[in-house]
Amino acid sequence: MTIGLDMMGGDFAPLEAVKGTFEYLQEENSSAFLILIGDEAGLNPLVAEYKIPKDKIKIVHADEVIDMHEHPTKALKEKQRSSIAIGFHLLASGKIDAFISAGNTGAMLVGALFSIKALEGVLRPTISTIIPKENGGTGLLLDVGLNADCKPEQLNQFAVMGSVFAQTILGIENPRVGLLNVGEEEGKGNILCQATFPMLKENKHINFIGNVEGRDVFIDKADVMVCEGFTGNIILKLAESLYDITQRKKIQHDYFDRFNFENYGGTPVLGVNKPVIIGHGISQARSFKNMIALAQKMIEKNVMQRMKDELV
């Protein structure tokens, strides 16, 4: 398998991306050949400094960078020689099997939607986040920002895609799916939740357990929690702030340490034809290592095809 990595995306590029590449290649189970996309003159000395094996990587030169503040669609169109544009060209043409970047999030989403397309039948792709559970387990929340407004049919598909991801990547055999709502009883919530509940209840591809509330997010009530991206993004940012507060106040606890996004690397775009993983702009070496490892696992487990099969 071949994985493409944008070496110019993120606040600490390209150094942390190179360090993450080195750390990944030190892992016993690392099996991917890596295409490093970025400024060759800047990458070559770092690759040499970290003694990255040349038979494990190939550098593809990109002399443009899409900055964080740039308009995604315009930048992709005008900067064809940027690391993100080249990455999606390689992905769409089959030269790489997955693409990773901690660069401009909007450009990554636009590139995913227009270069490799959504899976057949998918109304809208989604992005998710890992939820650390109080009991040591792990859950999944989606959508967390890609789709601020949703239709019931979209939430129904998010539940299926989230279940497949939880099974294949998180190792949860029969993930419990909950609809995030303001009450447990059927019929609660806004128009979206009221219309979505019966769809999830009738969906034979998921293990639907009913509504879950905000107080249930971090406890072991559901493995996959579904909501529209507006609510999901607020929960995600709240969770990030919890970790930041514990760091500032020097509160040491194993549970709160699990809120560190570096542990998970980045978030995959679910519902497109090939793995695309988006990292945080402040990603450092551990994030890049974990993003590459996640891409490898998604390829090995054939996650996208399994989602397609379940959505039929």
**CATH assignment of the domain containing 131:** 3.40.718.10
Q: Which domain holds residue 248?
A: 123-263
**What is the torsion angle, in degrees rounded to the nearest 10, for the CA atoms of residue 9, residue 14, residue 17 and residue 18?**
160
Model pLDDT, residue 312: 76
| Residues 198/208, Cβ–Cβ less than 8 Å | no
Question: Is residue 118 located within the same domain as residue 137?
Answer: no
Classify residue 308: in a domain, yes or no. Answer: no
Query: Tens digits of per-residue pLDDT, 66-85?
Result: 998 999 999 999 999 999 99
Retrieve residue 268's tokens.
Answer: 């995959």
Domain count of the fold of the chain: 2
Contact 267, 278 (CB under 8 A): yes
Q: Do 192 and 280 reside in the same domain of the chain? A: no
Do the domain assignments include residue 310? no
- Of the pLDDT bands very low, low, confident and very high (cuts 50, 70, 90), residue 163 is very high
84 and 107 in a single domain? The answer is yes
Cis ω before 14 (30° cut-off from 0):
yes
> 100 and 209 share a domain?
no
Kind and range of the H or E run holding 278: strand 276-279
- Is residue 140 in a domain? yes
Q: What's the whole-number mean pLDDT along residues 263-277?
A: 93
The answer to whether residue 238 is domain-embedded is yes
What is the pTM assigned to this prediction? 0.93
Q: Are residues 65 and 136 in the same domain?
A: no
**Binning pLDDT at 50, 70 and 90, where does residue 265 land?**
confident
Residue 203 lies in a domain: yes
Taking a C-beta distance cutoff of 8 angstroms, is the pair 160, 206 a contact? yes
pLDDT at 263: 87
| pLDDT given for residue 176 in this prediction | 98
Specify whether 130 is located in the same domain as 259: yes
Clarify whether residues 135 and 254 are in a common domain.
Answer: yes
Residues 172, 249 share a domain: yes
Task: Give residue 211's pLDDT.
Answer: 98
**Paired strand residues for 60:** 37
Give pLDDT, residue 60.
98
Per-residue model confidence (pLDDT) at position 277: 96
Supply the angle between the helices 285-300 and 15-26 in degrees, to the nearest 10. Answer: 50
pLDDT one-digit tens code per residue, 229-263: 999 999 999 999 989 999 999 999 999 999 988 88
- Examine the domain organization and report whether 16 and 147 are in the same domain: no
**Is the domain of 128 the same as that of 247?**
yes
Task: Compute the distance between CA of residue 131 and CA of residue 255 in angstroms, rounded to an integer.
Answer: 11
Residue 165 lies in a domain: yes
133 and 253 inside one domain:
yes
Please indicate, yes or no, if residue 312 is contained in any of the structural domains: no
Least confident of 8-12, 126-130, 262-266, 281-285: 262-266
Residues 177-230 have pLDDT tens digits of 999 999 999 999 999 999 999 999 999 999 999 999 999 999 999 999 999 999
> Is the same domain home to 114 and 162?
no
| Average pLDDT score, the chain | 95
Q: Is residue 33 part of a domain?
A: yes
Q: What is the pLDDT of residue 241?
A: 92
